[in-house]
C-alpha cells in the first residue's frame, strides 16, 4: 500500500540527522529532531550565561504557547494544562486529588497501564474506592453494552487508555465518554500512547495525562496533565507556591489560584521544557491530522508485511488506525528476538508482562512507526525479523 505524505516523512527524517538505526519504537520513546536537541542545549547555555531564574522568566511566552498546542491536542485551553515530571507521577497526583466519595466505584479494564491500575487496587485495599473491572472483547476493546449495564449500576470515575501500551487497537473513546457523561460518570484518559498518533481532541473527557517522549517527540523527563476547568477547580491537590496563595497564617489554609492548572511542577529542567516546546511547534507546523494519517498508514502497511513472518502473528486488525504493531509467537523466546533485533540495528519494544499482568500472558514484541519512518523501514524490519527468528 502507498503511505501518504511522503514529503512530510522525508522532512521529518531529514530533521533527525543523528538517527543511526531503524527506529521502530515511537510508542516507547520517539527520536527528537536536531532542532529540539539544540533548543535544550541553547537554554542550558543561557542559564549558564545569565542565571537559571532569569532564563526561565524569559521563556514564559514560549511555554505558554506549548500549553496552547497541548490544549488543542486534547480539546482544552492552555490554562487547563500543567507540566509534570512524567505521566506516572502526573496520573498519581491526579488520581489522589480527584474528588471522590468514600467507597466510590472506579472502573478500569485489564488493559489499563499497570501503574494506573495499581493506584486503583491500592485505593481499594485502603477502602477509599471500590474497583470495578470493565468488560472488554478479545481484542481488548471496551464492550459498550456491558459498559451501559455497569453505568446503570453506578460508576463515579472511569479510567481509560485510548490506545494501550501493549495493544495496537484504538478504543471507541468518544463514545465511551459520551455514555459515561450521560450517566454522570467522570472520565480520565491516559493518552500516553494516543496523543500525537490518534485524535483525542473531540473525546470530551474530563482529564488527560501523557509524557512528552512518545508520539509528541519531546525529550524524556517531562509530561502534562490537562483537566477540564469544572473538575480542576475541585481537585484536592497538595498546595505549593506554584498552585496556591498563602499569607503565612498557619491557622488559615492556602487558597488555590483562581486560574491555571492545579497540578503543575514549579521546579524542573527548563531546558527539557524548551526542547518539548520546539517539538510541539514542529508537530503543529506539520499538521497533526497529516501526521496521524501517515502514522496510521505505516501501521497498516507494517501489519500486512509482518503478519506471518517466521510464525509471528499480528495481534490487532490490519486496518487499526494506529502506528503500533504488536507481534506474538507461539514458541520463540520474544526476549531473545528483541535483543537480536537491537543487535542488528532495529530498535523495538519488548512488552513485559508486568505492564498489564491481567491482559498480557507472556512477553510480546511491539514495533511502532512515527512519521519519520517509511517503506524502507518496514522492509528492513520484515527482513531482520525473519533472519533473527531462525
Give pLDDT tens digits for 74-107: 999 999 999 999 999 999 999 999 999 999 999 9
Query: Which one of 220, 255, 285 terminates a domain?
Result: 285
Least Cα distance to 158 among 106, 193, 121, 210 occurs for 106
Q: How far apart are CA 229 and CA 80, in angstroms?
A: 6
pLDDT digits (tens, 9 = 90+) for 181-237: 999 999 999 999 999 999 999 999 999 999 999 999 999 999 999 999 999 999 999
Given a cut of 90, whether residue 351 has pLDDT beyond it is yes
Q: For the domain that residue 219 is a member of, what is the CATH number?
A: 3.40.640.10
Based on the fold, state whether residues 238 and 205 are members of the same structural domain. Answer: yes
Query: Which one of 226, 254, 285 terminates a domain?
Result: 285
Residue 367 lies in a domain: yes
Q: How far apart are CA 207 and CA 79, in angstroms?
A: 13
Based on the fold, state whether residues 182 and 132 are members of the same structural domain. Answer: yes
What pTM did the predictor assign?
0.97
Based on the fold, state whether residues 109 and 127 are members of the same structural domain. Answer: yes
Based on the fold, state whether residues 195 and 118 are members of the same structural domain. Answer: yes
Based on the fold, state whether residues 230 and 314 are members of the same structural domain. Answer: no
CB 246 within 8 A of CB 32: no
How many structural domains compose the chain? 2
- Residue 144 to residues 138, 202, 334, 388, Cα–Cα distance (Å): 14, 19, 33, 41
Q: How far apart are CA 105 and CA 130, in angstroms?
A: 5
In degrees rounded to 5, what are phi and psi of residue 141?
Answer: -85, 140
Residue 13 lies in a domain: yes
Based on the fold, state whether residues 382 and 275 are members of the same structural domain. Answer: no
Q: How far apart are CA 310 and CA 316, in angstroms?
A: 18
Based on the fold, state whether residues 249 and 369 are members of the same structural domain. Answer: no
Residue 160 lies in a domain: yes
Residue 247 lies in a domain: yes
Residue 140 lies in a domain: yes
Average pLDDT over residues 20-40: 98
Residue 1 lies in a domain: no
In degrees rounded to 5, what are phi and psi of residue 304?
Answer: -65, -35
Residue 202 lies in a domain: yes
Based on the fold, state whether residues 74 and 222 are members of the same structural domain. Answer: yes
Residue 63 lies in a domain: yes
Based on the fold, state whether residues 210 and 343 are members of the same structural domain. Answer: no
Query: Which one of 241, 261, 285 terminates a domain?
Result: 285
Three-state secondary structure along the chain? CCCCCHHHHHHHHHCCCCCCCEECEHHHHCCCCHHHHHHHHHHHHHHHHHCHHHHHHHCHHHHHHHHHHHHHHHCCCHHHEEEECCHHHHHHHHHHHCCCCCCEEEEECCCCCHHHHHHHHHHHHCCCEEEEECCECCCCCECHHHHHHHHHHCCCEEEECCCCCCCCCCCCHHHHHHHHHHCCCEEEEECCCCECCECCCCCCCCEEEEECCCCCCCCCCCEEEEECHHHHCCCCCCCCCCCEECCCCCCCCCEECCCCCCCCCCCCCHHHHHHHHHHHHHHHHHCHHHHHHHHHHHHHHHHHHHCCHHHCEECCCCCCCCCEEEEECCCCCHHHHHHHHHHCCEECEEECHHHCCCCCCCCEEEEECCCCCCHHHHHHHHHHHHHHCC
Distance from the Cα of residue 101 to its chain's centroid: 28
pLDDT digits (tens, 9 = 90+) for 290-327: 999 999 999 999 999 999 999 999 999 999 999 999 99
Based on the fold, state whether residues 291 and 281 are members of the same structural domain. Answer: no
State the Cα angle at 215 between 17 and 26, rounded to 5°: 60
Q: For the domain that residue 330 is a member of, what is the CATH number?
A: 3.90.1150.10
Based on the fold, state whether residues 318 and 333 are members of the same structural domain. Answer: yes
Given a cut of 90, whether residue 285 has pLDDT beyond it is yes
Average pLDDT over residues 367-387: 98
Based on the fold, state whether residues 329 and 247 are members of the same structural domain. Answer: no
Q: Which residue range is the domain that position 48 belongs to?
A: 37-285
Q: How far apart are CA 337 and CA 366, in angstroms?
A: 11
What is the pLDDT at residue 267? 87
Amino acid at each position: 500500500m502507498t503511505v501518504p505524505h511522503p514529503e512530510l516523512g522525508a522532512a521529518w527524517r531529514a530533521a533527525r540527522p543523528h538517527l543511526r538505526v531503524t527506529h521502530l519504537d515511537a510508542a516507547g520513546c520517539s527520536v527528537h529532531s536536531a532542532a529540539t536537541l539544540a533548543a535544550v542545549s541553547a537554554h542550558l547555555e543561557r542559564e549558564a550565561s545569565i542565571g537559571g531564574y532569569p532564563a526561565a522568566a524569559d521563556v514564559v511566552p514560549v511555554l505558554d504557547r506549548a500549553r496552547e498546542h497541548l490544549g488543542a491536542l486534547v480539546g482544552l485551553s492552555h490554562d487547563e494544562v500543567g507540566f509534570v515530571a512524567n505521566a506516572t507521577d502526573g496520573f498519581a497526583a491526579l488520581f489522589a486529588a480527584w474528588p471522590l466519595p468514600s467507597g466510590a466505584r472506579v472502573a478500569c479494564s485489564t488493559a489499563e497501564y499497570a501503574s494506573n491500575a495499581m493506584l486503583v487496587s491500592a485505593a481499594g485495599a485502603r477502602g477509599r474506592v471500590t474497583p470495578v473491572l470493565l468488560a472488554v472483547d478479545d481484542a481488548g476493546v471496551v464492550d459498550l453494552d456491558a459498559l451501559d449495564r455497569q453505568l446503570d449500576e453506578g460508576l463515579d470515575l472511569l479510567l481509560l487508555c485510548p490506545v494501550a501500551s501493549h495493544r495496537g487497537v484504538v478504543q471507541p473513546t468518544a463514545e465511551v465518554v459520551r455514555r459515561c457523561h450521560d450517566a454522570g460518570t467522570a472520565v480520565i484518559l491516559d493518552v500516553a500512547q494516543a496523543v500525537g498518533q490518534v485524535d483525542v481532541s473531540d473525546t470530551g473527557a474530563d482529564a488527560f495525562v501523557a509524557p512528552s517522549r512518545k508520539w509528541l517527540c519531546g525529550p524524556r523527563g517531562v509530561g502534562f496533565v490537562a483537566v477540564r476547568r469544572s473538575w480542576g477547580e475541585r481537585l484536592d491537590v497538595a498546595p505549593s507556591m506554584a498552585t496556591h496563595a498563602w499569607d503565612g497564617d498557619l491557622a488559615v489554609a492556602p487558597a488555590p489560584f483562581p486560574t491555571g492548572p492545579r497540578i503543575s511542577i514549579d521546579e524542573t529542567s527548563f531546558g527539557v521544557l524548551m526542547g518539548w516546546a520546539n517539538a510541539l511547534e514542529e508537530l503543529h507546523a506539520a499538521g497533526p491530522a497529516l501526521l496521524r494519517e501517515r502514522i496510521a498508514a505505516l501501521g497498516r502497511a507494517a501489519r500486512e508485511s509482518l503478519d506471518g513472518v517466521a510464525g509471528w502473528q499480528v495481534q490487532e486488525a490490519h486496518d487499526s488506525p494506529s502506528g503500533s504493531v504488536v507481534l506474538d509467537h507461539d514458541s520463540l523466546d520474544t526476549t531473545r528476538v528483541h535483543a537480536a533485533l537491537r543487535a542488528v540495528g532495529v530498535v523495538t519494544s519488548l512488552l513485559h508482562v508486568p505492564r498489564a499482568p491481567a491482559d498480557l500472558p507472556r512477553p510480546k514484541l511491539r514495533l511502532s512507526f512515527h512519521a519519520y519512518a517509511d517503506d524502507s523501514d518496514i522492509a528492513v524490519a520484515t527482513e531482520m525479523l525473519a533472519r533473527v527468528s531462525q
